Amino acid sequence: MEKTFRFKLNGKTVRLSSSPERMLLWVLRSDFELTGTKYSCGEGFCGACTVLVNNETVLSCQYPVQNVNGKEVMTIEGLAKNGNLHPLQTAFMQHNALQCGFCTPGMILGAYSLLLKNPQPSYREIVEALEGNLCRCSSYNRIIEAIQTTARTMKGLRS
Amino acid sequence: MKDDEYKLFEPGIDMDPGTIDRREFFKLMGGGIFILFSVGDPFALPRERRRRGYPQDFNAYLRIGEDGRVTCFSGKIEMGQGIHTSLAQMLAEELDVPLNTVDMVMGDTALCPWDAGTFGSRSTKYFGPPLRQAAAEARAVLIQLAAEHLRTPREKLKVKDGMISVKSNQKKKVSYAQLAKGKIIERHLEKKPPIKHYSKHAISGKPTNRLDSRQKVTGEAKFAGDIRLPGMLHARILRPPSHGAKLKSVDTSAAQKIKDIQIIQDEDKIAVLHKHRDVADKALGLIKAQFEPPEYKVDNKTIFKHLKDSASGGQSVAEAGNLDEGKSLASQTFEKAYFNHYVAHAPSENHTAVVKIEGDKATVWASTQAPFRAQGEIAGVLGFSPQNVRVITPFVGCGFGGKNSGRQIVEAARLAKLSGKPVQVAWSRKEEFFYDTFRPAAVIEIRSGLNSSNQIVFWEYHNYFAGSRSSQPFYNIPHHQVLSYGRRGGRGSGGVSVHPFGVGAWRGPGSNTNVFAIESHIDVMAEGAGMDPLEFRMKNLTDKRMQRVLTAAAEKFGRSFSKAPSGKGYGIACTDYLGTYLATMAEVKVDEKKGEIRVERVVCAQDTGEVINPEGTRMQIEGCIIMGLGYVLTEEIRFKGGRILDENFDTYETPRFSWLPKIETVLVDNPEMAPQGCGEPAITSVGGVIANAVYDAIGVRMLMLPMTPARIKEALKIKEK
Ligand code: FES
Ligand code: FES
């Protein structure tokens, strides 16, 4: 049975008719053609599909679309504003905190949500927050550095 | 398509399936300006001689646009290793243009020069020289044109940032773009211009941030699965539960009820197609099928015996002197066997392909390390001429040797033909583990001996199915023999394999296993000699480059060894990977109760010849070390015959944030030597260095990878007895 859902997607109100149990990942990638959110393990084990719902990270491959009704969804495409990169994005670039870049959207959104809650996270806190995000290229050390740099330069995130 | 028929990649059998002709190329590129240049006339070469190698015609490598931007064409692909940046640096350096004016076009069979594929840390080493030469020739032609334009002799001109000016009068100048303006220019040089000496480099050799990172932090970077075409369908394919299982019966009636679903039977393959991937997933789940799996003969407990039983006719990889004589000189002998299990590539991006067919032409977007091979393969599958198949390689999410074969591309091509629609096949993680070409399980047996002055006098090395890379001794051993059983890791030819599933090249193929065995065994002998492992290595080496990397690593690491078990856990290992030399040192802690190894610190010193992008090289070394911890500590494919028991990252554990050691890299300066590879070398030393550090910490010699907690505890128990 299809139902209509309304939610905010990267700041714009959208409407979608869909069966309620479809996973948000596929709705984003197919229906909205927002392909920055990646499919990798499909079962909640890797974090590549991480997006934000009301500023909290969710694994979109495990998150039915009915749960976003009335909420705010942000994907990697919504992070830069008017072509201006978010400081986290710039820091990832400066530290070369990526190789193939496939895990990167999930990493950045995971870091974003962490910094919203905890603007000055310790090394341990960064590791704990991102422990579920895998990077097969193993850019882990540089990702941590990029987040530390962002925390140092930003002193708290605006959303 | 029959499941068992797919022919896996074998290096060395590729031919250029058909390079596009010049006119066709110009058409594809749209407008723009070309300066055609050549030494002699490469087009006079018979076509045969232009095959299977990089083109002589250097126009194939670069184009100078009307707007002054330079496009670099490479049949290589970018999967994270960073050549998108380092190739651009090489081109910009030689052509004298700013790095940010270079655009890369990679892995597009219609636009790029033929290439066998991106593997074996070869991109800079083999593609680099012709690219540099092409840029140098383009630059020389441009200077010639400028000399005419400015009516000034060539010697009185200088070039900077794509601008040619008169040395004595900077105002008299002309840009590359102006020279090219409005016409196609064809020029011939009398002789090849030299390429720049490294001491003149201003772009190459300088630490440079990745040029592809902006696209990758914004989500704009496209991977094959991100391609969206009008009318495109997502296909999911019914898979057998194990390799070799035969389909007995199938009931698709429930799946058929899904709105807009298309079901296609292609020989013994059944596919469901829908415009939404998740709906296709759902339909696939509704298919009831019965398979008959073959009886299984081997699993990960019995595999090593199976491998040894299957081996015959060892091939000599290296030999010197006479083993019997060596044995007679030995005052101490050592004998050990080393083992490693199957390891998955587990790329971030699963194998994916999109195929669109229009008339007798096909366009393919694929996550592949070998687009030209895919072009030939798809042409064969569709019955098209290779020129009519264009393979485009978007960014690839990891490869590590796992994306040399293109089974998913063939599947998408066949389904596109049968459905009449563009089709995307993106494997699930389970399919990724099932069809992966694993790094082969292997056994290495070593017998060796020392004379009374602690020199290695003989070395007898039997390698079962690892593959022979990095197994030639670089220590001074007067009497040695290295035998390898099972060519190319036992993949065999004609589909005969000792392995119950596909195996193939895995980042540093062969070497990971060989270096683990060799460097573990060197430490075994060092202990027998009562010597510090570093000192023992130095004593048995005369290779200056190896001594240099060992010294560099030890200086950075900052300690000498004490006798094991010291409780501290320091290890060392070194190797020569296809011309790149490196030494790694590590510090570990072992929790004896839990059997857990914690790697605290790793130092790696690497001499890779001339370095194009020091920042990129460091990233590769760091990535190698962390990724290496996976196959050393946890990664092992569990299986029963052709059934793969690990299907996702819940049971197949790869490194994550909490594993991270402190990593320090030392780039040992050696610019006189041509650039060597750097995407793989450092990963090959991780087994040896960690095994040696663990021995140092707890006095237990780990002979099998991965060194799981269960194996550590088991080994400790045996030691106590
Ligand atoms: S794809 Fe969702 S967690 Fe891996
Ligand atoms: S950058 Fe490749 S998986 Fe993280």
Q: Which domains does chain B have, with CATH numbers?
A: 31-218 (3.30.365.10), 224-293+351-426 (3.30.365.10), 303-342+438-720 (3.30.365.10)
Q: Is residue A12 domain-shared with residue A54, that is, in the same domain?
A: yes
Q: Is residue A114 domain-shared with residue A60, that is, in the same domain?
A: no
The per-residue pLDDT for B176 is: 92
> Which of A12, A44, A78 is where one domain is finished?
A78
- Residue B649: count of CB within 10 angstroms of its CB: 22
Closest CA to B509 of B345, B633, B397, B645: B345
- Residue A6 host element (H or E): strand A3-9
CA separation for the pair B129, B117 (Å, rounded)? 16
- Our mutation pick for probing the ligand 2 site, out of A38, A41, A136, counting the most ligand atoms within 8 A of Cβ, is A136
The per-residue pLDDT for B41 is: 37
Residues 6+ positions from A115 with CB-CB distance below 8 Å = A88, A121, A147, A150, A151, A154, A156, A157
Q: Is residue A98 domain-shared with residue A46, that is, in the same domain?
A: no
CA separation for the pair B691, B523 (Å, rounded)? 10
> Which of A78, A106, A128 is where one domain is finished?
A78
* Centre of ligand 1 from the C-alpha of residue A143, in Å: 19
Q: Which ligand is nearest to the CA of B623?
A: 2
The per-residue pLDDT for B160 is: 95
Q: Is residue A47 domain-shared with residue A94, that is, in the same domain?
A: no
Nearest CA in chain A to B82: A99
The per-residue pLDDT for B47 is: 38
Q: Is residue A100 domain-shared with residue A53, that is, in the same domain?
A: no
Which of B213, B223, B348 is opposite residue A93, by nearest beta carbon? Answer: B213
Q: Which ligand is nearest to the CA of A47?
A: 1
- For residue B628 the two structure tokens come to 């290496």
Mean pLDDT calculated for residue range A117-121: 96
The per-residue pLDDT for B20 is: 46
Q: Is residue B213 a contact partner of residue A101, using CB atoms and an 8 Å limit?
A: yes
Residues of A in contact with B348 (CB under 8 A): 38, 40, 46, 48, 100, 102-103, 134-137
- Residue A43: count of CB within 10 angstroms of its CB: 16
The per-residue pLDDT for B25 is: 54
Q: Is residue A133 domain-shared with residue A112, that is, in the same domain?
A: yes
- Residue B255: count of CB within 10 angstroms of its CB: 20
Strand segments (E) across B267-351: 269-274, 288-292, 315-320, 332-340
* Centre of ligand 2 from the C-alpha of residue A139, in Å: 7
Residue-number span of the structural domain to which A129 is assigned:
87-158
Closest CA to B680 of B121, B118, B124: B121
CATH number of domain containing A9:
3.10.20.30
Q: Is residue A152 domain-shared with residue A97, that is, in the same domain?
A: yes
How much is the pTM? 0.93
Mean pLDDT, contiguous 10-residue spans, chain B (721 residues): 59 42 53 45 37 67 86 92 94 96 95 86 83 91 92 95 94 90 64 92 96 97 97 97 94 96 90 96 97 92 95 92 98 98 98 97 97 95 96 96 94 96 98 96 98 98 95 97 79 62 94 98 97 96 97 89 69 96 96 95 97 96 98 98 97 98 97 93 98 95 98 94 79
Helices A140-154 and A87-94: crossing angle in degrees, nearest 10, is 140
> Which of A78, A95, A129 is where one domain is finished?
A78
Q: Is residue A69 domain-shared with residue A97, that is, in the same domain?
A: no
Q: Is residue B408 a contact partner of residue B427, using CB atoms and an 8 Å limit?
A: yes
CA separation (Å) from B218 to A76, A83, A109, A115, A136?
Answer: 6, 10, 11, 18, 20
Domain count of the fold of chain A: 2
ipTM of the complex: 0.97
CATH number of domain containing A104:
1.10.150.120
Closest CA to B620 of B663, B556, B672: B663
Q: Is residue A55 domain-shared with residue A22, that is, in the same domain?
A: yes
Q: Which residues pair with B450 in a beta bridge?
A: B332, B456
Q: Is residue B386 a contact partner of residue B18, using CB atoms and an 8 Å limit?
A: yes
The per-residue pLDDT for B14 is: 38
Residues 6+ positions from B685 with CB-CB distance below 8 Å = B515, B519, B573, B574, B575, B582, B583, B584, B604, B628
Q: Is residue A58 domain-shared with residue A123, that is, in the same domain?
A: no
- On the CB side of B650, CA atoms within 13 Å amount to 9
Q: Is residue A91 domain-shared with residue A74, that is, in the same domain?
A: no
Q: Which residue has the higher pLDDT, A61 or B124?
A: A61
CA separation for the pair B716, B698 (Å, rounded)? 8
Ligand 2 within 6 A of CB of A98: yes
SS3 (DSSP) at B218: helix
Q: Is residue A123 domain-shared with residue A63, that is, in the same domain?
A: no
* Centre of ligand 2 from the C-alpha of residue A136, in Å: 5
